Amino acid sequence: DREYVVLGDPLVHVILPLLPSSDQEMLLSAGRQAFTDDFGFAPKGLWLPETAVSKEVLVSARSVGYEFVPLRDSQVTNIPYGTCLDAKHNVCVVKTANNQEMAILLGNSGLSGFVSFQPWSTYNAEGFMAGRQQNEQKSGSNALMMMDLERFGHHQKGANDFLKRILEIQEGYGFSPINMRQVLEAKDWRREKTYVDVNDNTSWSCDHDLGRWTGQCGCDSPSESTRRIKQEFHENLTKMNEFINTSLDTRFPGWRSEFSNLFISFADDIFTGTNFGPSLDQMVKSAGGNEAKIKLYLAKIEVMVGMTSCGWFFGADDRPERSIPSSMIRGVKNLLPEFCI
């Protein structure tokens, strides 16, 4: 049941609702394939970057084989008949536009935020688990907490050891990893599903129509200058992406399968800054491609990397992450001088 315990993700950490559905599906499919190549199985659950969601994204996720996604409780709406989606009933269902179902595993926004932003809460694994155990004994259930894995070890040094310790001792406190196969196949749940809607264009880290990544909101208190920069980055990369997609669709129909395989093949080189250009050039040409196709593929990779969410996430004027979209935009201009913003 490991495919129902471990979550997959798209190939790059982009805000999926800000991309066209064709790109959403391509990145989700590529991420799932890369996961399968690395670990030998295809996950059924998907961690959306920043839990950024829309109804369209759920259609894309379902189409590539995902069956459930975790979201914060603030991201769902239209709970029927006043149903209480509490800690005992934190799995619900969204019916997608093409009449398929996507299960939603709901996390408690308050508790998730507390663990995410209070470093002291993850200093002592034994104390943390004892508190969860006491809460279970007192109320009969435990609210689900969820947060990005980068919280453990990246944003808080040493917290990865806390997480590792949790996994080692959890059974002693009566806990085990959630097995969503057991949840989704339980007779009681299948008989009494709770159908909800998702709040389009929401995420755990921005409730303002994803304005954190378009320069349209004040999350993390950006200056007016930084907001303008964010807005320009988003607009430029979006226009570039539209130009590249249209050019590839027109000149090289069916390109997405080849591009997706190349992206997977060179993912490690792309993310470590290794020069993969000559190898990609050789692979495309050996399959009958030309210089124009190679440049468009390289530009497409630049755009996808440029849209990595951390380039917009923080509000301070001097954040180094903004060099990601900035340098990728320069790269596209160099590759495609015919493109004019």
Q: What is the pLDDT of residues 272-292, one digit of tens each?
A: 999 999 999 999 999 999 999
pLDDT for residue 84: 63
Question: For residue range 77-114, what is the model confidence (pLDDT) as tens digits?
Answer: 887 766 566 666 788 999 998 899 999 999 888 888 88
Cβ neighbours of residue 28 under 8 Å, at least 6 residues apart? 10, 16, 46, 60, 61, 64, 66
From residue 37, give the alpha-carbon distance in Å to each of 4, 41, 256, 291: 17, 8, 19, 29
pLDDT of the residue at 44: 98
Tell me what pLDDT residue 320 has: 95
Mean pLDDT score of the chain: 92
DSSP secondary-structure letter at 170?
G
* Single-letter amino acid code for the residue at 279: S
* Cα distance between residue 75 and residue 107, in whole Å: 10
pLDDT, average across residues 334-338: 93
Is the entire prediction scored with pTM above 0.85?
yes
**What's the pLDDT tens digit per position in 127-149?**
999 998 998 888 777 778 888 88
pLDDT at 341: 62
Check: CATH 3.20.110.20 for 2-198? yes
pLDDT digits (tens, 9 = 90+) for 200-257: 999 999 989 999 999 999 999 999 999 999 999 999 999 999 999 999 999 999 999 9
Domain locations along the chain: 2-198, 211-335
